[in-house]
């Protein structure tokens, strides 16, 4: 976490961790992602709690029940996790190698937080899938996922683009596009048992 623990005072007193403060910071960053403006709140006070929450939520929702096959949903959770985090690490390394002046964890923070629109898309898709399947069902899900995919890219570009040299923004944004495309593909092709 970016902020240190508050001064505990006497060693004997049990001071609770500033949990509410951390949660509020995470919530504030969620708002910044949903309404992306040119601000550097995500960059200044980076934390990885938000990305962790989002990644775990996404991986849980992308799991299938264990009733359909002897292979249970365990490996799927791990693979979504691995894909998200290693994709974020790869993009971060790429943007650093291209000469960006963003730090490793700041970039991870931004990429993780910008998964929020796609998580919302996953929620919507799961709700839509409760209705009867059909082409209309698919079109609705496709539309929602495309809109959220575009939102993710716009949000992450708003935060990341300033850290790159001005003529190389496209080179840094393209892998972000691929990353969110893969996540959107996973969300779109999800069908529960």
Contact residues toward other proteins (CB under 8 A) are 62, 64, 68-69, 75-76, 78-80, 83, 93-94, 96-99, 133, 135, 138, 167-168, 170-171, 174-175, 178, 181-182, 185-186, 188-191, 193
Of 42 and 183, CB closest to other proteins: 183
Do the beta carbons of residue 152 and residue 182 sit within 8 Å?
no
Cβ neighbours for 190, distance < 8 A, ≥ 6 positions apart: 62, 122, 125
Q: Closer to other proteins at the Cβ: 83 or 161?
A: 83
Would you say 89 and 58 are in contact if contact means Cβ atoms under 8 Å apart? no
3-state helix, strand, coil in the chain (%, to 5): 70, 0, 30
The single residue listed with the structure tokens 């989002």 is 54
- Rounded least distance, CB 185 to other proteins, Å: 5
Residue 143 vs 185, nearer CB to other proteins: 185
Minimum CB separation of residue 128 from other proteins in Å reads 14
**Choice between 42 and 160, CB closer to other proteins:** 160
Q: How far is the CB of 189 from other proteins (least distance, A)?
A: 5
Q: How far apart are alpha carbons 190 and 183 in whole angstroms?
A: 11
Shortest spacing between CB 90 and other proteins, in angstroms: 8
Structural Rg of the chain based on CA atoms: 19
Tokens 């929602």 locate to 144
């Amino acid at each position: 976490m970016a902020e240190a623990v508050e001064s505990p005072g006497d060693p004997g007193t049990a001071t609770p961790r500033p949990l509410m403060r951390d949660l509020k910071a995470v919530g504030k960053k969620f708002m910044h992602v949903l309404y992306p403006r040119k601000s550097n709140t995500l960059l200044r006070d980076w934390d990885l709690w938000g990305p962790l929450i989002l990644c775990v939520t996404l991986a849980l929702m992308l799991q299938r029940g264990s009733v359909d096959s002897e292979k249970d949903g365990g490996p799927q959770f791990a693979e979504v996790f691995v894909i998200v985090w290693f994709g974020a690490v790869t993009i971060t390394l790429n943007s650093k190698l291209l000469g960006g002046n963003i730090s490793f964890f700041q970039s991870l923070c931004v990429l993780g937080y910008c998964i929020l629109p796609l998580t919302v898309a996953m929620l919507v898709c799961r709700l839509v899938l409760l209705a009867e399947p059909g082409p209309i069902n698919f079109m609705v899900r496709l539309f929602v996922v495309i809109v959220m995919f575009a939102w993710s890219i716009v949000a992450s570009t708003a935060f990341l683009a300033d850290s790159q040299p001005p003529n190389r923004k496209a080179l840094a944004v393209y892998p972000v596009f691929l990353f969110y495309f893969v996540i959107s593909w996973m969300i779109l092709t999800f069908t529960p048992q």
